């Protein structure tokens, strides 16, 4: 192969490119189907984002509809839903982040320092399992458990002499239900990545620390914990970048008219406006606004992190 490259070196750049294409064409055939599909379903919608700046008219189509500039954005900023949806989205993601981010780290740390191998395995198997439950089933379980008439939680409350609570109808509980069920479902699986980081800690460090008389807690605190900080930082940056895109599916399923004032977030609002009320352009504008804020957040957080800790995505 190296002799071939040598022969080519005298050719012009264009020729070399063609030669290279000819040589690589089997591999190009390998990637071509994926490129076509991704182009159609990821890049065409990206180009289609411009309907946010047009007044979508199904007759005139995607690109024939008239331009209206930023009108839809203005309409969103002026609408009474602007403040509530933004606030709900922010509160829900921040709450999820604060509750959901440290717990997998703690789980990985303590499980890693636990010496009983068999029990460790059992706990890992069990804590990973909820991750594979579908969102629909997860929400179905929540509704069953929290049901005011037959749910186990109200049965327990009544057993201790308390009063029946209709959890899904009271908006004060909604955020806690959403966030903590998410923690329940995700903590085991999210801890896997920290396990990977912990497994790269050299055992010699541990042995040396034991010889020096360190306690188990000190080993976790001064050896294990620092070793996962880079991983944790990267994950934190990534989750800050998506702070405005709280998951659609679970919010949507747990939503009802009684909790709408805390559960209407940007993505569910986009769905409602766009596909239920058929305001295609307006809803695309809201979606685009959402992505833009996410991108800005990601860039800002990444820059801050680079300054403070030297760890960054790019």
Partner 1 sequence: MRKKRSKQDKIYDTIIFIILTIIFAVVAYPLYFIVISSISNPEAVSSGRVFLFPVGLTFDGYMEVFKNQQVVSGFLNSLFYTFCGVMLNLALTLPTAYALSRNKFGGKKIVTIFYVITMFVSGGMIPTYLVVKNLHLLDSMFALILPGALGVYNMIVARTFFKMNISEELYDAAAIDGCAEAKFFFKIALPLSKAIIAIMVLYYGVGHWNSYFSALLYMKTETKFPLQLVLRSILVQNQSHLSQTITTAAQQEALEQRRQLMELMKYSLIIVSSLPVLIMYPLVQKHFVKGVMIGSIKG
Applying CB under 8 A, among 76, 288, 302, 305 the residue interacting with partner 1 is 288
Exposure string of 138-167, with b = 16+ CB inside 10 Å and e = fewer, is bbeebeebbbeeebeebeeeeeeeeeebeb
Q: Which of 109, 79, 76, 129 has its CA nearest to residue 220?
A: 109
Least distance in angstroms from the C-beta of 44 to partner 1: 5
Judged by CB under 8 A, does residue 85 bind partner 1?
no
> Is the alpha carbon torsion for 171, 172, 175, 178 positive or negative?
negative
d(CA 154, CA 159): 8
User: Which residues on adjacent β-strands are paired with residue 67?
Assistant: 54
Contacts (CB under 8 A) with partner 1, residues 168-187: 184
Judged by CB under 8 A, does residue 145 bind partner 1?
yes
Which lies closer to partner 1 via its Cβ, residue 50 or residue 79?
50
Judged by CB under 8 A, does residue 66 bind partner 1?
no
Contacts (CB under 8 A) with partner 1, residues 252-281: 253, 267, 270-271, 274-275, 280
Least distance in angstroms from the C-beta of 77 to partner 1: 18
Tokens representing 118 are 């068999």
By CB atoms closer than 10 A (0-12, 13-18, 19+), residue 263 is buried
Applying CB under 8 A, among 8, 18, 48, 230 the residue interacting with partner 1 is 48
Q: Which of 266, 258, 215, 261 has its CA nearest to residue 85?
A: 266
d(CA 4, CA 228): 46
Least distance in angstroms from the C-beta of 48 to partner 1: 4
Size of the site for partner 1 (CB under 8 A): 92
Applying CB under 8 A, among 18, 43, 102, 304 the residue interacting with partner 1 is 43
Contacts (CB under 8 A) with partner 1, residues 9-28: 20-21, 23-24, 26-28
Least distance in angstroms from the C-beta of 215 to partner 1: 5
Q: What is the CA radius of gyration of the chain?
A: 26
Contacts (CB under 8 A) with partner 1, residues 99-138: 107, 110-111, 113-116, 119, 122-123, 125-130, 132-137
For 79, left (φ over 0), alpha (ψ -120 to 50), or beta? beta
Judged by CB under 8 A, does residue 304 bind partner 1?
no
Judged by CB under 8 A, does residue 63 bind partner 1?
no
Which of helix, strand or coil describes residue 47? Answer: helix
Least distance in angstroms from the C-beta of 71 to partner 1: 16
Sole window of 80-88, 89-97, 146-154, 304-312 interacting with partner 1 (rule: CB under 8 A): 146-154
Which lies closer to partner 1 via its Cβ, residue 51 or residue 177?
51
* Alpha-carbon torsion angle 70, 270, 100, 194, nearest 10: -80
Least distance in angstroms from the C-beta of 8 to partner 1: 12
Sole window of 64-72, 81-89, 144-152, 300-308 interacting with partner 1 (rule: CB under 8 A): 144-152
Contacts (CB under 8 A) with partner 1, residues 194-253: 195-197, 213-217, 231, 248-249, 253
Tokens representing 136 are 């629909």
């Amino acid at each position: 192969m190296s002799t071939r490259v040598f022969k080519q070196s005298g050719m012009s750049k264009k020729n070399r490119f063609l030669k290279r294409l000819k040589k690589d064409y089997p591999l190009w055939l390998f990637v071509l189907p994926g490129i076509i599909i991704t182009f159609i379903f990821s890049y065409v919608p990206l180009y289609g984002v411009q309907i946010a700046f047009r007044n979508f008219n199904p007759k005139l189509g995607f690109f024939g509809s008239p331009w209206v500039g930023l009108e839809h954005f203005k309409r969103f900023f002026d609408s009474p839903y602007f403040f509530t949806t933004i606030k709900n989205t922010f509160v829900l993601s921040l709450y999820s982040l604060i509750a959901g981010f440290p717990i997998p780290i703690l789980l990985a740390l303590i499980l890693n320092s636990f010496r009983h191998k068999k029990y460790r395995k059992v706990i890992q198997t069990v804590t990973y399992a909820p991750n594979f439950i579908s969102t629909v089933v997860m929400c179905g379980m929540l509704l069953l458990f929290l049901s005011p008439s037959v749910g186990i939680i109200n049965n327990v409350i009544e057993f201790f002499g308390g009063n029946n609570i209709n959890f899904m109808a009271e908006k004060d509980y909604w955020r806690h239900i959403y966030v903590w069920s998410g923690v329940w479902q995700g903590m085991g699986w999210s801890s896997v990545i920290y396990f990977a980081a912990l497994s790269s800690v050299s055992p010699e460090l541990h042995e040396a620390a034991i010889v020096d008389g360190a306690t188990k807690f000190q080993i976790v605190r001064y050896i294990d914990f620092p070793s996962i900080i880079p991983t944790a930082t990267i994950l934190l940056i990534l989750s800050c970048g998506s702070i405005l895109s709280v998951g659609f599916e679970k919010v949507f399923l747990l939503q009802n008219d009684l909790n709408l004032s805390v559960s209407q977030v940007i993505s569910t609002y986009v769905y409602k406006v766009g596909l239920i009320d058929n305001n295609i352009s307006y809803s695309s504008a809201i979606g685009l606004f959402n992505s833009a804020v996410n991108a800005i957040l990601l860039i800002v957080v990444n820059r801050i992190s680079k300054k403070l800790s030297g760890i960054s995505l790019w």
